Amino acid sequence: MTAPDPVRAGRALNGAAAGILVLEGIAVLFVPRGIAQSGPGLTGGRLTFLLVLALVLILAAGVQRRPRGLYIGTALQVPLLLTGLLNGVMWFVAGIFVLIWLYLLQVREELLGSPFAVVREPDGPPEQPGP
């Protein structure tokens, strides 16, 4: 099945990808609180990693309309999942986000023909219906 209007579908799916990345960034910002109360605690390196990851996830949301945006978002799912090494509950939270991301890629494949398809704007003005 392909979308009747691939341009609109592509924009909508890019917006969904951006929204997921912003939510992932916000979720990562909650991790330091959990780490501080368990195990070796919150070290400078861990805090830096989490803050940089959250910032990169949020910035990646802004490039989702670019051709490489989806590749960047997909690559960022790996460090997100690895936050489970810092706090066990993040295996569950990040796992859910990764499953949502994979579902988004599956929907893109169904609607656009490829999970990483780049949808181009049509050249020229839209066609007007006849009189």
pLDDT of residue 76: 96
pLDDT of residue 77: 96
Residue bearing tokens 């949020």: 58
With a CB cutoff of 8 Å and minimum separation 6, the contacts of 77 are: 97, 98, 101
pLDDT of residue 34: 81
**Distance from C-alpha of 64 to C-alpha of 6, rounded to nearest angstrom:** 16
- By the 8 A CB rule, do 90 and 79 touch? no
Render pLDDT for 47-70 as a digit per residue (tens, 0 to 9).
899 999 999 999 999 999 898 999
- Helices and strands, counts by H and E, the chain: 6, 0
Angle at CA of residue 60, ends 94 and 65, nearest 5°: 120
pTM greater than 0.75 (yes/no)? yes
Please list the ranges in the chain whose pLDDT falls under 50: none
